[in-house]
Amino acid sequence: MARDPFEDKPGFSLGNYGFIVVAVILAIVAAAELFLIFRLPPENQPPAVSQTETDPAPSSPEPSSPAVPEDWRLILVNEDNPLPADYEIHLATLNNGLEFDERAIGFLERMISDARDEGLFPVVASAYRSVERQWQLYENKIMRLMGQGLNREEAEIEARKVVAYPGTSEHNLGLAADLVAYSYQHLDDAQGDTAEIQWLYEHCWEYGFILRYPKDKSHITGVIYEPWHFRYVGQPAAQEIMEQGLCLEEYLANLEKENELVADPAAWQDLQK
């Protein structure tokens, strides 16, 4: 009788043989998985973290310098700088129905109130004007000048000396107000001699306002002397402008020079020494 060749071999059985086969199969599967993992394309593998990402080298410090940010209070509007097309105006209403920039109207009201506490009576004769309203004033002035014998071209030239071209008036900006004495409501040079305007000359900077068109600055502003025209620029700028006898154009030109200095680190460091 034939005998099973594995029958008398101790520790060896068909069961053990099956276990070995299963183990071999599992090893093959594991090896295949490892092969696939290490064969993944780079985009499917986690990115390596570089030393610069986890521990960047310290950069050399930049020189400290004063920041001169863009400031809505210092927007320049004149013949060469028309009102920006995307400028958004948010208005509030004064007691007399005129409108002013809502961010600055409180300063204007306080200035008028404090003047009245001193026994003076300044009146806001004009404040915000829409560009459409400015067109009406501009065209009306041209028509009056043409009625005096000027042709259209001559009338336009003369009109721009006293009425700003639409879009170039600070009244379109909402930050300018024409202030006059209650007892003398005329827009002429004599307005500057009234007690109300004299008080405003001395104190307007305390509320962030300046006399926008001084007597000796017409060659810079391009506008005649207007003792009644006050512009809100914020208290820090107003104090410097009024104390130094500047117009807004000069003040902004000085700021631009400071910005150029700030842009040159070497020059700024020299200044700091």
Catalytic residue annotation? 226
Helix-strand-coil split of the chain, %, nearest 5:
50, 10, 40
Between the two ends of the chain, the Cα-to-Cα distance in Å is: 113
CA dihedral 40, 41, 42, 46 (to 10 degrees): -30
Rg of the chain taking only CA atoms, in angstroms: 40
- Look up residue 59 and give its two tokens: 């950069």
In degrees, to the nearest 5, what angle opens at C-alpha 23 toward C-alphas 18 and 28? 130
Question: Please, are residues 163 and 136 in contact by the beta-carbon 8 Å criterion?
Answer: no
Alpha-carbon 266 to chain mean position: 27
**Burial class of residue 21 (count of CB atoms within 10 Å of its CB; 0-12, 13-18, 19+):** exposed
